[in-house]
Structure formats: C-alpha cells, structure tokens
Structure 1
C-alpha cells in the first residue's frame, strides 16, 4: 500500500473505531432498592392502646408480647424499661404514643422498628349457663423510617365446657351455671391472649417474617 494511502487509511480507521466505541452503550443498571424490604433486627413494643373496659388489660397484653416476637428471631426491648423511658419523656398515655411519628419512637431507643398493638375486645359475656371469653387485637409494625412493614388482626373466643356427666340433668345444669359464674367473675384471658399472639405473629396466614436471630431462638428452646 502506498504511503499516501496509509496516511489516509489510518486516520479513517481511528475515526471509525472512536465512533464504534462512542456508540457502545452499557446495560442499564437495575434498581434493586425497590425490591429490598427493610429487615429489622430489633423491635420496641410500645404501651398498648385499650379499647376495652378492663383497665388491667394493657399491662397483661404488653407483658405477653416479647416472647412470641423473640421466638420469631428479633431482639425485643424490655417492655417495662420501654414504658419507663417513654414516661420520662412525657408519654404517659398509649394513645398519645401511637400518635407520635414512629421515627421518633424508634430513634429514642435505637430500634429498627416499632410495634403498635390495640386491644379491641377483652371481655366475658355471661348468658345463664355459659360464659364466653373473647380477646381481639390489632397489630402494626412500622420501621424506623416510618414505613409500615406488617399489619395483622386476631380474635379468639372460648366458652368453658362442663364435662360433668354424672348426677343427672339438674346437677349438670347447676354445675354449668356455677362454672359460668366463676368464669365471668374471674375470666382467664391469658391462654386466649397467648394463643392469639402465636397465631398472629408466628403460625397464622400472615405472620411476621422470620427475624435474623431465628436460629438462635430455636436453639434456646
């Protein structure tokens, strides 16, 4: 090839190469942020809102929540300490706490998420020979950024059965009336409450996702 042709050919090839490089496009970067759900490691359970007429219900329910949450693999802040800290910050009423932005509550404890629980029912209905004990709860888990992570509701009812098969119909009726009166006077809400928590948080159709410490929790059982 003549020298003059080479001088013409080389710049042309360089220009074509530069054009090809300039036209090459990198594949678009996939946005995976939208697919990555927040993964809380620690949960603070705030005082329970009480819609029932039983003034003792919130303390019983609050004390029963840490175990099933910890069994799902999360670190749970001690509920009594949480309540004391909130009171020191001026939050004495559960309703007021639930009106506060979850981000503020989470930041106060350094928690990844906040669990809000409402008692809708906690009562015993008496009808002559039977008493029906009912509990009904709403659960809501919110991340430290204010994003709702999980929501669930659970209602449970129980009527004590009279298993006395001896003594005739009159004795059975009297026994049933006595049992119903006892259940109404001193209903045992905790078995139902614990069962409701297990279903809502662990075994039901919409449980909490497994936490990062699940294997450790299972090993401790």
Structure 2
C-alpha cells in the first residue's frame, strides 16, 4: 500500500490502518518482528515521525509492543476481534466446538433505506445501503444474518465475497471498526426464519443485534442474526492484561 495523497485521512492513520490490516489478516502473526521505522518510512514514502506516530497508536491499541534494544513486535494475545466469540468469525466459532462450517446461502443487494434503517444509520430515507443476507451452518443451518452496510466501498457480487469473510474483505479495503455494540436476547423468531433454520417449534431462539462503528464513530454496519438455540451456544472469552 502507498499513501493516498488525495485522501483527507492523515498519513499516520493511513499507515496505522495498513499495518493493522497486516495483523488482522494474518500477514503478520503474534510475536513477529515488524520492519524498522526506516524501512517502513521508505516503503510508505513518509517520514519516520509519521511511522513512529502510527506505531504508537498501534501500541496503545495493543496490536504492537515495543522492546528496548530489540524492536517492535506483534502483540501476543493482542486485543483484537479474534478474542471475542461473538465478534469472531462464525467459522472460528464452529471450529472451537469441533464442528465443520460453511456458508449455505448468501445474497447481496442494494436497497433504499426505509424509515427504520434511516434512523439507525442517521441517513435520509431513500439513501442507498448494501443488504447482505446469509445462512450459515454445518450439515444443518445454524444462523441467519441480515446485514446492512453504508456503501463506503463497493461490495462485489462474486462467489468468493458472498461465501467468504465480510470483515476480512472490509479490512482489505482499509475499512476498520473501532467500536462494536451488541445486544443479545431470547426471542420468538419470525416464522420465515424458523423455516430457514429448520426450527420445528415455538421455543425461544438467540437473537443478536450488532452496531459496528468506524474510527470517526460513524455507524458502518448493522446486523441482526438469529441462531438456532438447539445447535448454538453463546461463548465469551475475556482477557485481563497488566499494564
């Protein structure tokens, strides 16, 4: 990645986002020694001060750690999306349970925001949104997700995108989330969703609402997900780290 001179985002944030992408996508792994400030400055075509500022931000966010006389490495047990089960990918969740997983159905559309969506995103009625609907599971469907996104980047209607990781694609486009809000409740799922998830009775199911905000506190993603409670359990893993 090179610095985009036409982008109004400060250079140090562009560098920070690029470095963070390398960590989130696994290009740099926990414990890896990253290139020196001089090498990064040459790579991005910016000053070492800019690189130092970007790295300092990532150290504060616990993506990187500095060791005197050694260099800067990727933080072990870093505070990232992968540490939290409900934010982690569905594939990883199922792997933890020892189950294979796959996307069974996926559909991407462009829609006009209705009154409710306009109020959620603080946009005008009729403004365009992406709507991504997915059914995921193992040999049986386990979840149905209905995701709405601001068109901050173009989403491709390709099989690799539809069946792949949404967050991984967004990070590849330098779209990162800074804050997540999630609400989990037990509800009676609508009949259409019970049919999709092959739920035969009226027992309560797990519903999660997620609001994902970018670094300027702008809501980018809103998702409603229904889980088949007979085949899914909620798990949370929290880490305590001494400062």
Query: TM-score, normalized by length of structure 2?
Result: 0.23
Greater helix percent: which structure?
1
Q: Name which one, 1 or 2, has greater alpha-carbon Rg.
A: 1
Query: TM-score, normalized by length of structure 1?
Result: 0.25
Greater strand percent: which structure?
2
